[in-house]
Amino acid sequence: MNEELILQHGLTLDEFQVIRKYLNRDLSIEELGIFSAMWNEHCCYKTSKKWLKKLPTDNEIVIQGPGENAGVIDLQDNDGIAFKIESHNHPSYIEPFNGSATGVGGILRDIFTMGARPIATLDSIRFGLIETEKTKYLLNGVVHGIGHYGNCIGIPNIGGECEFESTYDFNNLVNAMAVGHVQKDKIFYSKPKSIGGLIVYIGSKTGKDGIHGASMASDVFSEEDEDEKRPSVQVGDPFMEKLLMEGCLELMSSGLIESMQDMGAAGITSSSVEMASKGNVGVYINLDKVPLRQPLSAYEILLSESQERMLAVIDKKNNHKVREILQKWQIDYEVIGEITDTKRVMFESNNKKVVDLPVEIIVDDAPEYDREFYIPRKRKNKDFDFSKIKLEDMIINLLTNLNYLDKSWVFDQYDSTVMGDTIREPGQSSGIVKIHGTQKVIGASTDCNPLYIRINPYEGMKYTVAESYRNLIACNINPLAITNNLNFASPLDPNIMGELVLSIHGLKTAAVKFNTPIVSGNVSLYNQTNEIPIKPTPVIGMVGSNMDLNKINTNKFSEIGNKILILGKQLTKNCSPYLLQDQKIAFNICEFNDLEVIDLDFEKKIANCVLELSDLKFIMSCNDISRGGIFSALLKMQYKDMGFRVKVHDPIDLFCEYSAGYVIEIRSKDFEEVTSFLTKKGAEYLEIGEIIKEGIEINSKKFDYFDIMNKYRNDFEKIIS
Amino acid sequence: MSFKSAVITFPGSNCDRDALCYLKDLTKGEVHNIWHEETSLPKVDLVILPGGFSFGDYLRSGAMASKSKIIDEVVKHANDNRYLLGICNGFQILTEIGLLEGALIRNKKLKFLGKNCFIKKKFKNNFNLSIKDSQILQIPVAHNEGNFYCDTETLNLLKNNEQIAFEYCKGEFSNFEENINGSIEAIAGITNKKKNVLGMMPHPERAYSDFHQSQDGRLIIESLIS
């Protein structure tokens, strides 16, 4: 086999030699394709596995940790919650509409493959600077694509984040998360149960789309590549997915299916190999039986990433019943093979064996690298000059920065109330949906602080997890578990690898402290173009619950005259990275001081105070303090033309970041009780002001409420169009 | 006599479950779910054509669903002077069948719109009896093609026959637009001439329960039952 062909398939020559030696024969082109698909970062985590193993993945509520299509946690009674986040970064850059749409489609399939009905989605999206036409095109396409898919299939979008920063200019990030509800005794796994079970193909016909998508997702880009790679982007059909979802859920609830696996990255190859590996069995598949949209070679069928397809194993005797149900939903269905006891993966085409490989070499012998990494150098601390900073300018700096403006333009393109169980829509600190037919609610939020993580990957990651935690706590949701999406640049650069390793350590520390295990996740590497690496962006999706929907907090002001209290610890202005960056005090990443060490015990202590005060119904509204400090948190809380009057020692304090920071609104009559509760718990608080009608007042200086609110609400749309 | 109702499910309907819950919780009567390939409809007081993307909205929103087998029965039901309510995609289907005038074209900003909107009653009919004239209802919308359009002649007929049931209006506070999707005369819902068929873009079935942001959607079922 010639070297060029091997390299084109994304394998190194060393990797190829391992395979060659094991098999002691030449590979068919189809087999090379299989290794190309299965041995890339996207499928086998060869760079990150060593470090991911260190993450806590289990506790008393984890039913399924990483390794299945999605993680599942226990929500008491017979209720389980399946959830996962996954990236579709590269496809969304090449073709933003279809790239992001199929990202949503893929993550939803991961959820209903487990037997769970999806009940919510969230999206964490990041773009470059809006000044370029390209970014506007990407933003429009991505938001349209996410909306198109989710709206049509009818799963509410309840939140996420949307950030703009220059390192994403040529590598926008699209991470889609989905949450599903499953009955604990009806969870489906990818492991087949019996030898001789029929392998059936369910869903859309196979076409040429997405061939080599998974290996593309593990490539470094150059600008010229874009057009060439466009055929590798999958095209989604949410209507088909809706039928597929209903059909599969009906099959599963009728007990007609043994196991199921969605055909996602690396299509039929990956799903069949996974099945064989999980069950410690073999698979035989006749590729001539695969329903095709157009004539395809065996190689193309194996690597196609056509969307809306599933692979299932059924007992022979159920064949007829399965066909009947799928006919009702107008879904293609074909028996294409069977489970064997050979522990080999065998594909046949035109009466010829085109692939015959032991499962072991594909899965267990997949490469695992221990790449070199550097630990960032210690930063020198210095004092910045704040003397020229004026309050008015600080407000203007926030209101002219997309990252602080109300993102309704994005969320309004998503259906967030379909299914009728939505309690908190996007734009609040966490999205919340009710478990249908119960009083239980699920809250979810996604977060990442790339700037913090670049400054100090370990501490920065702890801050990121803490922020997600606070998002849930602010709504009186108990944080339960995490899914993660590790977006990084090329791990071949030891500096980047260092960010990866240290942030995983930070994630571990925080997850252990908060007892929120990581139950599912995804890794996306090589996010760099023209030598510009993205900021490290390990996104966290955190899920929590409250058993009583009547106890949920709102993030919006509730009544004029109520008092505003601040909990938590302010970071010093010299160590508030977003303050320094967004108020244009520090420009270059090397100028920033190191992060202050975040005290996670303190985070927990304050969080418990917020939860207790919420249960006692003392909290009228609550929001967490993050980027943009107290001021930004207050802006987000405005509602029904209610504003705020506050007094602080130094106006800059309103813009500093916090650890364990919360703004809480309480009634004046409860003030004594709440503050004595906080004092008893040893939680310091700051009384900074009150809610007023149609006004914003800071240290007796009055601002035009409607002017600020109009900018806050409407300028996002103006800037991006 | 208890109030009986039914919800039709097409492939791609995604508010059928919501509509079923809405009817079960508010009517306390018998509620049927009917698959689009059925050829008979039980005798009920109200049929709902739910929201969603029937047949993927391929061709035109509502166009393919309007040719489903069950539609003959739905038309008979309406001709029998019984109530028929089309919500969102259901409204689009009703205009495609021809039971309602006009058409729903793309929103003025050419983007999907999923948010709370405010509507008030325009002309009285049995679907809005329990709503006061000046009352502003808060109900979510979620549509791509909700921009109601018809020619001037039809518009005059709709007005003269008092067929306009709901129109979009401004909410109580500063941050809400008056006519969110660009509909002609801010029309949010119309009836047929006999006023037993209503099509509306807002989703009352997402605004009725205690935990919903608003409970104003109850008023439609309450009007019909009273």
Give A377-415 pLDDT, tens digit per residue: 888 889 999 999 999 999 999 999 999 999 999 999 999
Query: In the structure encoding, which two tokens stand for residue A523, read together?
Result: 């890794």
Asked if A436 is an active-site residue, the reply is no
Quick one: what percent of chain A has pLDDT higher than 90?
87
Alpha-helical regions (H) of A48-117: 49-52, 89-94, 96-112
- Please give, rounded to a whole number of angstroms, the shortest distance from the CA of B204 to a CA of chain A: 10
CATH number (domain holding residue B193): 3.40.50.880
| Closest Cβ–Cβ partner in B21, B58, B174 for A420 | B21
CA quadruple B172, B177, B178, B179: dihedral sign: negative
| Closest Cβ–Cβ partner in B114, B174, B175 for A413 | B114
Q: Superfamily assignment of A1-39+189-365 in CATH?
A: PurM-like C-terminal domain (3.90.650.10)
Contact A460, A454 (CB under 8 A): yes
- Please give, rounded to a whole number of angstroms, the shortest distance from the CA of B157 to a CA of chain A: 34
Residues paired with A542 in a beta bridge: A445, A482
Nearest to residue B157, comparing CAs of B120, B191, B107, B131?
B191
Tell me what pLDDT residue A531 has. 86
Q: Could you say which of B96, B101, B167, B205 is catalytic?
A: B205
Query: In the structure encoding, which two tokens stand for residue A610, read together?
Result: 């917020």
CB count, 10 Å around CB of A684? 12
Give the whole-angstrom CA distance, residue A1 versus residue A673. 78
Tell me what pLDDT residue A216 has. 53
Tell me what pLDDT residue A231 has. 58
User: Average pLDDT for residues A1-6, to the nearest whole number?
Assistant: 86
Tell me what pLDDT residue A659 has. 97
Query: In the structure encoding, which two tokens stand for residue A376, read together?
Result: 């960032």
User: Average pLDDT for residues A269-275, to the nearest whole number?
Assistant: 92
Give the whole-angstrom CA distance, residue A260 versus residue A241. 15
| Closest Cβ–Cβ partner in B53, B114, B206 for A420 | B206
Is A420 in Cβ contact with B212 (below 8 Å)? yes
- Please give, rounded to a whole number of angstroms, the shortest distance from the CA of B203 to a CA of chain A: 9
Nearest to residue A416, comparing CAs of A145, A86, A147, A106?
A147
CB count, 10 Å around CB of B16? 23
Contact A500, A48 (CB under 8 A): yes
- Please give, rounded to a whole number of angstroms, the shortest distance from the CA of B155 to a CA of chain A: 29
- The region, left, alpha or beta by phi > 0 then psi within -120 to 50, assigned to residue A538 is beta
Contact B4, B83 (CB under 8 A): no
Lowest-confidence segment of A202-211, A248-257, A598-607, B109-118 by average pLDDT: A202-211
Asked if B73 is an active-site residue, the reply is no
Q: Could you say which of A42, A90, A148, A181 is catalytic?
A: A42
Interface-testing mutation among A324, A415, A424, A709, with chain B (most B C-beta atoms within 10 A): A415
Tens of pLDDT along B182-220?
999 999 999 999 999 999 999 999 999 999 999 999 999
Contact A585, A576 (CB under 8 A): no
Which chain A positions have a beta carbon within 8 Å of B201's beta carbon? none
Give the whole-angstrom CA distance, residue A415 versus residue A457. 35
| Closest Cβ–Cβ partner in A418, A423, A706 for B142 | A418
Alpha-helical regions (H) of A123-166: 133-153
CA quadruple A46, A50, A51, A53: dihedral sign: positive
Which chain A positions have a beta carbon within 8 Å of B17's beta carbon? 419-420
User: Average pLDDT for residues A658-664, to the nearest whole number?
Assistant: 98
Residues of A engaging B, defined by a Cβ cutoff of 8 Å = 144, 147-148, 151-154, 237-240, 242-243, 329-330, 408, 411-420, 422-423, 434, 549, 640-641, 706, 709, 713
Q: Could you say which of A88, A90, A148, A181 is catalytic?
A: A88
- CATH number for region A553-721: 3.90.650.10
Per-domain boundaries in chain A = 1-39+189-365, 553-721
Give the whole-angstrom CA distance, residue A368 versus residue A117. 35
| DSSP 3-state of A356 | strand
Residues paired with A685 in a beta bridge: A567
User: Residue B102 sits in which domain range?
Assistant: 5-225
Average pLDDT, whole number, for chain A? 94
Interface A-B: count of C-beta contacts within 8 A: 92
Is B52 in Cβ contact with A154 (below 8 Å)? yes
Tens of pLDDT along A197-214?
999 999 999 988 877 655
| Closest Cβ–Cβ partner in B12, B21, B112 for A242 | B12
Which chain A positions have a beta carbon within 8 Å of B206's beta carbon? 417-418, 420, 422
**Pairwise pLDDT comparison (A227 vs A538), residue with the higher score:** A538
- Please give, rounded to a whole number of angstroms, the shortest distance from the CA of A479 to a CA of chain B: 21
Please give the ipTM for the structure prediction: 0.96
Average pLDDT, whole number, for chain B? 96
- Please give, rounded to a whole number of angstroms, the shortest distance from the CA of B167 to a CA of chain A: 20
Q: Helices B71-79 & B89-97, crossing angle to 10 degrees?
A: 80
User: Average pLDDT for residues A551-564, to the nearest whole number?
Assistant: 96
Which chain B positions have a beta carbon within 8 Å of A242's beta carbon? 11-12, 14, 53, 56
Tell me what pLDDT residue A584 has. 95
Tens of pLDDT along A136-145?
999 999 999 9
CA quadruple A494, A500, A503, A508: dihedral sign: negative
What's the number of domains chain B is made of?
1
Q: What are the φ and ψ backbone dihedral angles of B46, each rounded to 5 degrees? A: -140, 135
CA quadruple A645, A631, A569, A465: dihedral sign: positive
| Closest Cβ–Cβ partner in A144, A416, A418 for B15 | A418
Answer whether residue A554 shows pLDDT above 80.
Answer: yes
Tell me what pLDDT residue A613 has. 98
Tens of pLDDT along A675-716?
999 999 999 999 999 999 999 999 999 999 999 999 999 999
Asked if A144 is an active-site residue, the reply is no
Interface-testing mutation among B33, B175, B201, B210, with chain A (most A C-beta atoms within 10 A): B175
Tell me what pLDDT residue A166 has. 95
Which chain B positions have a beta carbon within 8 Å of A411's beta carbon? 114
Quick one: what percent of chain B has pLDDT higher than 70?
98
